Structure 1
Amino acid sequence: MRRFLRSILWLPILLALVAFIAPSIWAQSPTPTPKASPSPGGVVRGYLFYSPFCPHCKKVISETLPAFKKKYGKQLEITLLDARDPSNYAFLLAIEEQAKVPPQYRGVPFLVIGHHILIGELDIKEHLEEVIEYYLQQGGVDYLIPPDAIKKIFAPPTPTPTPSGVKATPTPLPLIHIAYFYTTGCNECEQAYYDLEYLKSQYPTLRIHYFDVQKDAPLWEWLGEKNHIPANKRLTTPAVFIGDDYLLGRDVNYENLEALVKKYQAKGAEPFWENWDREEALNSILNRFRSLGPLTVALAGLVDGLNPCAFATLIFFISYLALTGRKGWEVLAVGAAFALGVFFTYLGIGFGFLKALQSIPSLQKLSKVIYALTAVLCFALAAGNISDFVKVRKGNPEKMSLRMPIRLRRVVNRIVRQSMQVRYLVPISLITGLLISLIEFTCTGQVYLPTIIFMMGVPEMRGKATLYLMEYNLLFILPLVLIFVGAFFGTSSGQLSKLLNRHMVTIKAATAFLFLCLGAWLVYAVLIQ
């Protein structure tokens, strides 16, 4: 998350609010009216709201702040405020509300110095020095509120004593049960967690039931069916279900949550999901698994396996096998080793790319950008394949634009020639498949990576990403396996070359169609988010 807010207008409002809520506290304070004024001795003072479970907070606390503390010494004083503490969180909410921080930028680490707010590890790292220098030139800046006064001002409400000094017994209110679904590592989910925990401190009858969407997807599906939630929005996180209402994604914020809690405060909300129909939910998920998603992945893998880049290498490989006198079962053994090398290489690349995407801290926030950029790439590749389709139809396949560069093609051919000159051909073929796959990825990866983005965009497919990567890569090596089987039965490289040329138009048309479908779906994913 990266956002640099310079907000001056919100400060007087916040200070007026604080003065209104706790006049007695400020009457006892050495400074009767709180304000962001120059600090005695030219010290820059501020707060860092953090969570011990937030990796970005840990980096800021252990690396960024110590570096600035070392540089500025006693001129810098940052007080750490644990966002899990109800008083600290109430203070944070007040700042966010008055500064009108957009929902997508809420979260920790959250640094406040004077009139400036820095949100997120990158923002703090890149702009903290600028803020410190600004206030040092002003003679320093004091805390908006002394840290030891925060708990007094923003303490949770307590029952009001009766005139006799005995606490009034409030009328018992029914319990309000909330089902909250989260994903580990999701920033929005973490923010929703803090909101819910703070609400618990404000509304004692609130009971929150936490569900990991990876483990409790069937329950989410059942709730989605019960609430008539569109299929493309199911398994979204964060998600909250209470009574007959629900909130999804960015709608899960403090204001909306509190509004729902107030709605059910008098009548309560039962944990209606306790008797849910697991079988019904599983059937619903299975029915949607049988829809377009898996078919698209299978089609993408097969089309990628028929890619002219990969096909040309296979033809050269087969011709060199024949030239060196390899035939029969030796061809099958070499082919199996080569295919395994290709399979495991592409599977490894797929897992690596998938993990890289999943490790992005703000993946859900960036998803629109990622999908939009990938959609543009898909449409560009579709246009390139349509252009190649026209060139092949006109009898000019050598003019195709989407093909492996000649320099890389020569490297591949050299690897094939050298691999045929060794004694232990089968294990060397495994390594050859690995090396050639890495080189060819500049060409074949055009389909693979957008397909992984597609899988990440379909909620039902995220949890089964490993299976879909296996499916894709099995379909990818299927043409390769069939070619080696054909070579075993006597199919020559010349016949394979003719087969490729004969069906080049079809392959290009299918590839263009695939990219158009992926691009269209990604545009749809951007629009519905």
Structure 2
Amino acid sequence: MVSIQKYAFATVLFISTVLPCFAAESNITASSPVVIDYFYEAGCADCFRVKNQVMPDLQERFEGFFTINNYDVGVKSNVIRLATYQEKLNIVSNKPVMMVVDYKYVFNGFDAIKANLLKQMDECIAERQETGWKAPEVIEIRDGAVADKLEKFTEPIVMTAGFLDGLNPCAIASLVFFMSLLAVAKVKGRGLMLMGISFCLASFLTYTALGFGLLRTLHLFSGFPMMRHIIDIGMIAVLGIFALMSFRDAYRYRMTGNPNDVALQLPEGIKRRIHAIMKEGISVRSLVVGGIVIGVLVTALESVCTGQMYVPTLVVMAKSGMSKAWGYLLLYNLMFILPLVVVFILTYFGLRTPTLLEWSKKNVVVSKVLLGSFFLVLAVLVMML
């Protein structure tokens, strides 16, 4: 009888003390499960490793104690979320997989997830049993997060685009011809410097004026969302085509060394017109006037080729707002004429035309690869901004 009473007392004690703890834990975790935000790239190797090596253990040990939100970063809205998390949590590295627990504990990459996720789950569940525990603060998602993040890169991208445009084989080929004419005409010393300054200044002002007009046009279209969307889609498609053509040009020129195998170049008719303008400009009595005439007309004609980089970059500039776009326009054109300025300075100090010609030939493949790569970068920017 005493034994039965002892068992009865133990049972009552267990029911009154231990079971309420389990019930309390169950109620807390049911009403406030641990939140796991899982960012991944569809089809990545680490994604399969997480699925096969982490998820089964997570499910087995903590079923009912957590909720998981899956975010494929191939979806634009999820990229916006990821960018917001990176900004709020100071995440600087990018991995194919990432988990954020309770909006504050970050595990970036498979190794970090494998080593720390389950331990963190134990800690988060334990925290929920403490008196005064408060639910984690949800990270608010801003639609402009990606645009804000990409905006930081706009200035260096504009600078790089302008410099690459100045190294465009279209512009370099004309410059080499111009330098050879100056050498034949024995223009050197002070005369060369006057011609160079006037030519570079005229080129800068002409290209800036062309960009100003295009920016104004893009600004007018900004009030029509459908038109803006059509421009973006068309620009992305054109940039993709230009990238492929640039890579093909690089490959074909490297194989043959024949300039005629390059597709993205000035038409022969425009080349002949440019050469004629340069010859006429050098014959003008005033070197300054000749430099200005050559700079204006040649830059305008070359824009048929150099515009491949210019126009898409202007679209990116316009997305930054017109107040910033004007500054970017000037920055782009300063970088565009930088190679011209450097060549004139080197020529003034003794650079010979054959050396410049040899460099220009070696520059074709590299510049085409760089241009093709940058076309792809611009396509991504146009799509994301």
Range class of TM-score, shorter chain? 0.5 to 0.7
Letter in 2 for 1:328: G
2:341 maps to 1:481 = yes
Kindly state the Cα deviation for residue 233 of structure 1 after the two structures are TM-superposed: 6.8
Pairing 1:364–2:277 present = no
The answer to whether the aligner puts 1:313 opposite 2:174 as a matched pair is: yes
Is 1:384 the equivalent of 2:384? no
Equivalent in the alignment of 2:86: none
Partner of 1:74 in structure 2?
none
Pick closer, same or farther for the CA change 1:397–1:454 going to 2, 3 Å.
farther
For 1:333 and 1:301, the matched residues in 2 are separated by 24
Matched letter for residue 377 of structure 1: V
Residue in structure 1 matching 2:358, options 478, 486, 498: 498
Aligned to 1:412: 274
Q: Name the CA distance, whole Å, in 2 between partners of 1:369 and 1:476.
A: 28
* Structure 1 gap ranges (5+): 1-225, 235-284
Does the CA contact (< 8 Å) of 1:302 and 1:478 recur in 2? Answer: yes
Counterpart position of 2:184: 323
Alpha-carbon distance between aligned partners in 2 of 1:360 and 1:491, rounded to the nearest angstrom: 46
Conserved? CA contact 1:301–1:476, under 8 Å: yes
1:361–1:496 distance in 2 versus 1, CA, 3 Å: closer
Q: Distance in 2 between matches of 1:456 and 1:424?
A: 39
In 2, Cα distance between the equivalents of 1:360 and 1:452? 13
Residue matched to 2:207: 346
Q: 2:159 aligns with which of 298, 313, 316?
A: 298
Cα deviation 1:23-50 (Å, max 9, x = unaligned): xxxxxxxxxxxxxxxxxxxxxxxxxxxx
Q: Which amino acid aligns with 1:466?
A: W
**Aligned residue pairs: how many?**
246
Cα distance change on mapping 1:389 and 1:480 into 2, 3 Å: same
Within a 5 Å distance, the mapping from 1:218-297 to structure 2 comes to 228-232=141-145, 291-297=152-158
Contact 1:309–1:440 at 8 Å: present in 2 too?
yes
Cα distance between partner residues in 2 of 1:302 and 1:373 = 24
Partners of 1:511 and 1:386 in 2: CA distance? 9
- Counterpart Cα distance in 1 of 2:159 and 2:146: 23
Look up the equivalent residue of 2:266 and give its one-letter code.
M
Identify which of 369, 372, 375 aligns with 1:512: 372
SS in 2 for 1:491: coil
The offset of 1:389, in angstroms, is 0.8
TM-score (normalised: structure 2): 0.61
Counterpart code for 2:160: L
Q: Tell me the equivalent position of 1:466.
A: 326
Task: Give how far 1:521 is off.
Answer: 2.2
Q: Which has the higher contact order (CA 8 A, sep 6+)?
A: 2
The offset of 1:439, in angstroms, is 0.8
- Partner Cα separation in structure 2 for residue 288 and residue 381 of structure 1: 23
Partners of 2:145 and 2:298 in 1: CA distance: 38
What's the RMSD between the two structures over aligned residues?
1.9
Letter in 2 for 1:355: R
Contact 2:221 2:228 survives alignment (8 Å): no
Q: Unaligned regions of 5+ residues in structure 2, if any?
A: 1-138
How many Å separate the matches in 2 of 1:367 and 1:321?
45
CA distance in 2, matches of 1:441, 1:416: 16
Shift in Å at residue 411 of structure 1? 0.5
Mapped partners of 1:491, 1:424: distance in 2: 24
For residues 234-258 of structure 1, give each alpha carbon's deviation from its aligned partner in whole angstroms, at most 9, with x where no partner exists: 7xxxxxxxxxxxxxxxxxxxxxxxx
Following the alignment from structure 2 to structure 1, what is the Cα–Cα distance between the partners of residues 198 and 307?
21
